[in-house]
Copies of this chain bind each other. A is one copy, B any other.
Amino acid sequence: MKKRYFIYISYKGTAYHGWQCQPNGISVQEVLIKTLSAILRTDINLVGAGRTDAGVHAKCMVAHFDYEGEKIDTSKFLLHLNSFLPPDIAVYKIVEVRSTAHARFDAVSRRYEYHVIFHKDVFKRELATRLFAELDFETMNKASALLCHYEDFGSFCKLHTDVKTNICHIDFAFWKQVEDEWVFTIQADRFLRNMVRAIVGTLFEVGKGKMSLAEFCSVIEAGNRCKAGMSAPAEGLYLVDIQYPDDIFKLS
């Protein structure tokens, strides 16, 4: 009988053209599909919870696939799968879910982190964005808190995408110092394409004193991507968590 599985994946995105399969370059999804298909000896289709852009990392991406063969011995399967995957992609959990569960449509929240450093760190190359300007994180945190008062984030959405709505509900968004890094954490029910990097880039403008809090609000209210700041570089961004309702894990 066909069974559906969720896999929980982490990857260093530097070498990939993002999560999603595409003709121009190698993607994380493509590597996983090929490896899963080889190990399970059948064509596997993998549906991700979302996309990440080229160079963006994931501490937690979730995807589902269906498999008709015998029940998967999860711990053996994980060892086997990880030994075939390249060193920058790891699957750390696999769990059977209801046959109707959907990695993308059933996700109730997604959380991202953006990591910033202010010095040359040889061990964090490609793993954080290095900035040279000083930033006023106190003001940036005031701006971050304001994000929760809005729902329409068209200003932070990549132009010409075909999503039906720009409405997102942000649970929280804040900057916090963690050792020698500053980390921005943001959670919402959904994110628009490029949204986190556009928000972070605009918060950098606030932190440099080039944009006031009132101007920050105007940018959001304008609903126009051209008003916002530049996209922050991909290397600082991590998808870190995706939440689902409990009932999809309860098998009848």
Asked whether any CB of chain B lies closer than 8 Å to the CB of A232, the reply is no
A122 and B11 contacting across the interface, CB-CB below 8 Å: yes
Residue interface mask A72-111, B partner, CB < 8 A = 1: 0000000000100001111010000000000000000000
Asked whether any CB of chain B lies closer than 8 Å to the CB of A57, the reply is yes
The DSSP consensus for interface residues of chain A is loop
Residue interface mask A56-81, B partner, CB < 8 A = 1: 01000000000000000000000000
B92 and A123 contacting across the interface, CB-CB below 8 Å: no
Nearest B residue to A119 via CB reads B92
Asked whether any CB of chain B lies closer than 8 Å to the CB of A125, the reply is yes
Residue interface mask A103-142, B partner, CB < 8 A = 1: 0000000000000000111110101000000000000000
Closest-CB distance, A239 to chain B (whole angstroms): 13
Asked whether any CB of chain B lies closer than 8 Å to the CB of A10, the reply is yes
A90 and B122 contacting across the interface, CB-CB below 8 Å: yes
Copies of chain A in the complex: 2
Closest-CB distance, A88 to chain B (whole angstroms): 5
Nearest B residue to A11 via CB reads B122
Task: Report which of B87, B119, B125 forms a contact with A12, defined as CB distance below 8 A.
Answer: B125
B11 and A88 contacting across the interface, CB-CB below 8 Å: no
A57 and B123 contacting across the interface, CB-CB below 8 Å: yes
- Assuming A125-B87, A125-B88, is B12 touching A120 (CB within 8 A)? no
Chain B residues closer than 8 Å to A119, beta-carbon distance: 90, 92
Spell out A's residues near B (CB within 8 Å): 10-12, 57, 82, 87-90, 92, 119-123, 125, 127
Kindly list 19 other residue pairs between chains A and B, CB separation below 8 angstroms, not including A11-B122, A12-B125, A87-B120: A10-B121, A10-B122, A10-B123, A12-B122, A12-B123, A57-B122, A82-B120, A87-B122, A87-B125, A88-B122, A88-B125, A89-B122, A90-B119, A90-B120, A90-B121, A90-B122, A92-B119, A92-B120, A123-B127
